[in-house]
Structure 1
Amino acid sequence: MSVITRPAHTFAIFLRGINVGGIRIAMKDLSQVLAESGFAEVQTVLASGNVVLRTETDAPAAVKESVQDTLRAAFGYDAWVIVKSREQVAAIIDGYPFTPADDGVPRHAYAVMTTGQDVVKQLLADCPELSPEERAAAGGDILYWEVPKGSTLESKLSKHLAKAKYKPLTTTRNLNTMHKVLAKFPPQN
């Protein structure tokens, strides 16, 4: 009698640049392609390229390579993803450094996930001076960013992040999205 076990490792996959420009991928198609390539319990979160899935490997680099190769083959675009564990997603949320400003201006709270601390340092070093309403802070391989609602796309940091050299190295998520992604992980024992 064989025992069927489910893949033991769960990761969040954050796709860069889909469903915001020219690259359109339906979440049901994304789920199907990832499931067919061997991932289990594939769940998408919103339509902005957030996935929680289970896999046999515990190596984030191997998961990243497999997902990117799968997406490139299935959808014909130069896919870039960032892979995070449950603990890393929780740490991103918990690490948000800004307390609410006392000026009555509603703001978005973002985590810019990068491929490493060196990318965060470079982003901050190259960035034009932020507007007085924006705040940014380094947190390891995360650049935390706060900007008034309604001005995200016009902000100096947003335009800086859109540069071609940062596309394979970063992806940005609202902290509300990060909470939704975290909620898709299986309960901890």
Structure 2
Amino acid sequence: MNYRRGMPASRIVLLRAVNVGGAKLPMERLRTIASDLGATDVSTYIASGNLLCTPPGDPDSFDRALEQAISDEFGYFREVISRTPDEVAAALAASPFTGGKHAHIYFLTGVPDADAAEAFCATDFGGGERFAVIGADLHIDYPEGAGATKLTPAKIAKLLGVTGTGRNLRTTATLVERARA
């Protein structure tokens, strides 16, 4: 297996909704699957689907293969979204909500339609959330914490037309730091 040996990872790979709601995916197994698919410099960070690696060949092809391998083995589908460390760092730097401890970046599978993004950002979900869509990233400030919101991934997908997965700013910063180490 090609586990991390002090080399920087070329991708930060984020899996949506693992180890919540019955979708168990041990991080040791995720590392093994990624390695079996040809990834090198493989490591994970916390048990919420954060993988750092250098995939073989085209990153998008690797992401789709990882989705398929997880689906085949575990019986559920989870989106895999990856970015370079520089792209994640740029999203972090662009966050308009850096002062709050409940700020998140929701990494999207694509760039939402401009009208849909504008309408989404103007929607009141009842929790005082603030939003900004910048490219393929949805920035969210949850003043009462992410656990108190009525905003769900299904609502995000329906309103923006793309799915994604969120990470708080601290986790996002740590992923960039670890990917560059």
> What TM-score bracket applies, with the shorter chain setting the length?
0.7 to 0.9
1:162 to 154, 157, 161: 154
Distance 1:78 1:120 in 2: 28
Note the 1:1-189 alignment, pairs <5 A. Answer: 10-57=10-57, 59-98=58-97, 100=99, 107-118=101-112, 122=116, 125-126=119-120, 128-131=123-126, 133-149=128-144, 151-156=145-150, 158-159=151-152, 161-163=153-155, 165=157, 169-187=163-181
TM-score w.r.t. the length of structure 1 is 0.78
SS of corresponding position for 2:179: coil
CA deviation after TM superposition for structure 1 residue 175, in Å = 0.9
CA distance in 2, matches of 1:60, 1:182: 17
Q: Which ranges in structure 1 are unaligned for 5 or more consecutive residues? A: 1-6, 101-105
SS of structure 2 residue aligned to 1:93: helix
In structure 2, the residue matched to 1:4 is none
Identity across the alignment (%): 27
**Structure 2 CA distance for aligned equivalents of residues 135 and 33 of structure 1:** 37
Counterpart-to-counterpart distance in 1, 2:8 and 2:142: 38
Report the CA distance shift for 1:112/1:126 in structure 2 as closer, same or farther (over 3 A): same
Aligned length: 172
Instruction: Go from structure 1 to structure 2 and tell me whether the alpha carbon gap of 1:94 and 1:113 turns closer, same or farther (over 3 Å shift).
Output: same
Structure 2's unaligned 5+ residue stretches are 1-6
Residues 110 and 162 in structure 2, CA contact (< 8 A), matched pair in contact too: no
Aligned partner of residue 72 in structure 1, secondary structure: helix
Q: In structure 2, how many angstroms separate the alpha carbons of the residues matched to 1:148 and 1:53?
A: 33
Secondary structure at the aligned position of 1:66 is classed as helix
Cα distance in 2 for residues equivalent to 1:113 and 1:89? 9
Give TM-score scaled by structure 2 length. 0.81
Mapped partners of 1:154, 1:81: distance in 2: 25
Structure 1 segments, 4+ long, off by >4 Å, are 164-168
Change (3 A) 1:126 1:50: same
2:127–2:149 CA contact under 8 A, matched in 1: no
Structure 1 residues 34 and 109, CA, compared in 2 at 3 Å: closer, same or farther?
same
Asked whether the 8 Å contact 1:115–1:169 carries over to 2, the reply is yes
Q: Give me the whole-angstrom Cα distance separating, in 2, the residues matched to 1:172 and 1:135.
A: 15
**Distance in 2 (alpha carbons) for counterparts of 1:38 and 1:107:** 37
Whether contact under 8 Å (1:63, 1:83) holds in the other structure is: no
Measured after TM superposition, the shift of residue 139 of structure 1 is: 0.9
